[in-house]
Structures are given as C-alpha cells and as structure tokens.
Amino acid sequence: MAFRCQRDSYAREFTTTVVSCRPAELHTEESNGKKEVLSGFQVVLEDTLLFPEGGGQPDDRGTINDISVLRVTRRGTQADHFTQTPLTPGTEVQVRVDWERRFDHMQQHSGQHLITAVADDLFGLKTTSWELGRLRSVIELDSPTVTAEQVAAIERSVNEKIRDRLPVNVRELSLDDPEVEQVRGRGLPDDHAGPIRVVTIQSVDSNMCCGTHVSNLSDLQVIKILGTEKGKKNKTNLIFLAGNRVLKWMERSHGIEKALTALLKCGAEDHVEAVKKLQNSSKLLQKNNLNLLRDLAVHIAHSLRNSPDWGGVITLHRKDGDSEFMNIIANEIGSEETLLFLTVGDEKGAGLFLLAGPAEAVETLGPRVSEVLEGKGAGKKGRFQGKATKMSRRAEVQALLQDYISTQSAEE
C-alpha cells in the first residue's frame, strides 16, 4: 500500500487515526558525534503524510496533533513514527509535514532521477547508488572517470529539460506487468509486497521508486553540478544541488565573495591572484622568521654555555619557538654533563618541552617530566620531548631535576 505522502507529495496536512502506540527508544547522533538514546513511543497511523526513509531519501519531519515526530521508519506496510509523547489508539489526529524539508527532498530526489537518466542516455554512465545529503547530494556513477566536458553536457541537458516543463507522474504496476521489464531500477527491498511504484519523467525516464517527487520538472527550478570526486573502486561520485539548494549555495558563495573583497581590497576576479601573493609573502616571512629563530637559538645556546650559572640544571622558557628551536639550542650546547630543560608556548597553558642531558638521566626523568606537565612525549639518546598542557608547573619540573642532581652528587 502506498502512503498518502506517496500518493500526493504536495499534501501538507491531513487527518487520520492512531492504530497503535508502544514504548520505544531512539538512538541519535549529533553532528559533533555525540550519541544519545531518547525514550519515547512508536506510533502507527492508519495512513501517513510523513515519508519513512527509503530509496536513498531521508525521512520526513512533522507533527501529529502538534507533537513533534523525530523519526519515521518503514516496517513492512506500516510506518513507525517516533514521538516523546504517547497517543491513544483510536484517536483521530491531524498530521502536518515540515514542508521546507519535504520540498527540498522532492527537488533533490527528482533531480537525481533526471541526472541519472541523462548521464545514461548521453554517455552510458550508469548510476549504482546515490545519497541525499544535508547540504549536497551525491550520485555514484559506474565509471572510473567522468570528464569535465561530460559533466557540462549533462548539466546543460538537465536544465533544458527543466525549462521544457516536462511532467512527472507516478503509477503503480503489478509485478507481472510486462512494462516492469522496461523500467529502470536497482532491485526491490526483501520485504516488498504489492504493486511496484514507478516514477516517470515524460519522454526521459521511468524508474522504480518509493520516494516523494515533484509533479513537473519546472518545480526543480535549476540543477547545478558542483563537480566530481573519486569514488569507491572504479566509481566516480557526481555532486549536485537542485532547486532551493542552488539559491542557498549562491547566497553563501556571494557572502563569502563580499567578505573576501573587503579583506583583500580587490574585485572578485582578482581574489585568486591576491591570495597567491599573500601565500608567497607568508612563506617568505615564515622562512625569514625561521632563520631568525635559528640565529637566536645559536645565540641563546652560547649565552647559556658561557653563563656563570652553567652546570647542574639549566632551564629556559620562551613564548615563541618550536621543536626545531629547542633542538638547535640543545645541539649547540652539547649538554652531556648538564640537564637542559627547555619549553616554548603559553606561560600557563599548552606548549612544547625538551629535556636533554646524560642518556641515563633523561631516560629516567623524561616520563616524569611529561607526567608533571600533564603531557605526552617520547625520547632516545639523551633527548626527551613532547607536548604539555600545564606549563604552569614548570617550577615543579625544575625542583624535580634539582633533586635528581643533588641525589646523584650525594651518591658520588
């Protein structure tokens, strides 16, 4: 049985009856990767306006009597609606769909059908799968390469068909109908029962599909193919936007262009050249800065070596610097007889550290220094270095090193 959402994809609300309601859990994952388990109810209705996920299309969102529906999944011929409020079986309810999400999915899904048909017709490029993403959609083509010229030709053709205002209709065919053999498809679900739903774009394509679609290609407005990416083995992913997503993409792109124009003090046509110049200047500055740091490291090493305080434990902290800076100092000093504790970074927060000196001492003290600074490190041949999160505890490290030297002197 086709749901109301499949019989009329443009319907935004209707009345139906609750069949059942049972306790359930919903496993969710936020965009930041955080997972959560929600307690609620699986509600089954006599019919539904909310599309359950399937055919590469995500599920709808909406409400039942103003109660939010957080997930819709298909179970055989039924659709399960997850809510966090129970609904009484036998109750008549009003179902409303999140129209912005629904129409977006209709545009992307019908756009996929159109691109799939045109890519096959023009170049024999077969679609093996597709994904309707949150920001962009991807069609997997059964070819190791797709040229820029092919992409341009596909984009021209699909937009011509949109301008031709070709109708899109949905029919149901029985499994034994001879016409089924002529319909494009990638197989039916294992639990499929009943007639086959066929979506036809006039004079372009007929395709088995359970999703929601526009009734005329003019509702797609426009399709923009953003390009291709290497897919799975011998496959190519074609990335596209349809309808309102193109407008939103243009709005975002225009906003970025305006911001870059203000920052770079030049027109959009000169942005790339301006950024290249900035990159070259930055590389030159980094090179000069590195040379200065190296010179400074050598100077610091000689100053430490000639200091009247030389011997025992030598410590140094600088806000600016990196691992190479510290290693140059250690190399110049050649601290086989002295413990050298160097740090760079924030005075109290995160940074880098290096402990150099007699191999046996460094091997013993290195892990303890890393532990005090709440960091991680490794070492060999008289060097131990790593990252620290608590530079504020450098004094504790210095005391630890002094105690070690004192103990060694007493034993001698």
Residues 109-120: pLDDT tens digits? 999 999 999 999
**Total domains in the fold of the chain:** 3
Q: Is 263 domain-assigned?
A: no
Distance CA 276, CA 278 (A): 5
Please give the full DSSP string across 156-213, using - where no structure is assigned: HHHHHHHHTT-BEEEEEE-TT-GGGGGSB-S---TT--SPEEEEEETTTEEEE--S--
Give tens-digit pLDDT for 344-356: 999 889 999 999 9
Q: What domain range includes position 92? A: 4-97
Instruction: Give the end of a domain, one of 42, 70, 97.
Output: 97
- Residues 107 and 247 reside in one and the same domain: yes
> Does residue 43 carry a pLDDT above 70?
yes
- Residues 56 and 117 reside in one and the same domain: no
| Domain containing residue 178: CATH number | 3.30.980.10
Give tens-digit pLDDT for 380-410: 889 999 999 999 999 999 999 999 988 877 7
- Residues 91 and 107 reside in one and the same domain: no
Task: Of 237, 236, 240, 305, give the one whose Cα is nearest residue 109.
Answer: 240
- Residues 211 and 313 reside in one and the same domain: no
Q: Is 132 domain-assigned?
A: yes
Q: How does residue 303 score in pLDDT terms, banded at 50, 70 and 90?
A: confident
- Looking at every residue in the chain, the average pLDDT score rounds to 92
- Residues 93 and 110 reside in one and the same domain: no
Distance CA 324, CA 20 (A): 68
Q: Is 370 domain-assigned?
A: yes
Instruction: Give the end of a domain, one of 252, 273, 306.
Output: 252
Both structure tokens of 168: 């899109």
| Residue 71 contacts residue 65 (beta carbons within 8 Å) | no
| Domain containing residue 45: CATH number | 2.40.30.130
Q: Is 133 domain-assigned?
A: yes
Q: Is 274 domain-assigned?
A: no
| Domain containing residue 318: CATH number | 3.10.310.40
- Residues 147 and 48 reside in one and the same domain: no
Q: Is 44 domain-assigned?
A: yes
- Residues 14 and 119 reside in one and the same domain: no
Q: Measured at the alpha carbon of residue 384, what is the angle toward residues 382 and 385, in degrees to the nearest 5?
A: 145
> Does residue 187 carry a pLDDT above 70?
no
Task: Of 404, 397, 356, 357, give the one whose Cα is nearest residue 375.
Answer: 397
Instruction: Give the end of a domain, one of 97, 132, 157.
Output: 97
- Residues 216 and 138 reside in one and the same domain: yes
Q: Report DSSP state, residue 216.
A: B
Give tens-digit pLDDT for 139-158: 999 999 999 999 999 999 99
- Residues 202 and 304 reside in one and the same domain: no
Q: State residue 410's pLDDT score.
A: 72
40-54, 238-252, 334-348 — which is least confidently predicted? 334-348
Q: Is 270 domain-assigned?
A: no
Whole-model pTM: value is 0.76
- Residues 216 and 317 reside in one and the same domain: no
Q: Is 272 domain-assigned?
A: no
- Residues 115 and 229 reside in one and the same domain: yes
- Residues 219 and 307 reside in one and the same domain: no
In order of 8, 159, 160, 201, the CA distances from 165 in angstroms are 19, 10, 9, 10
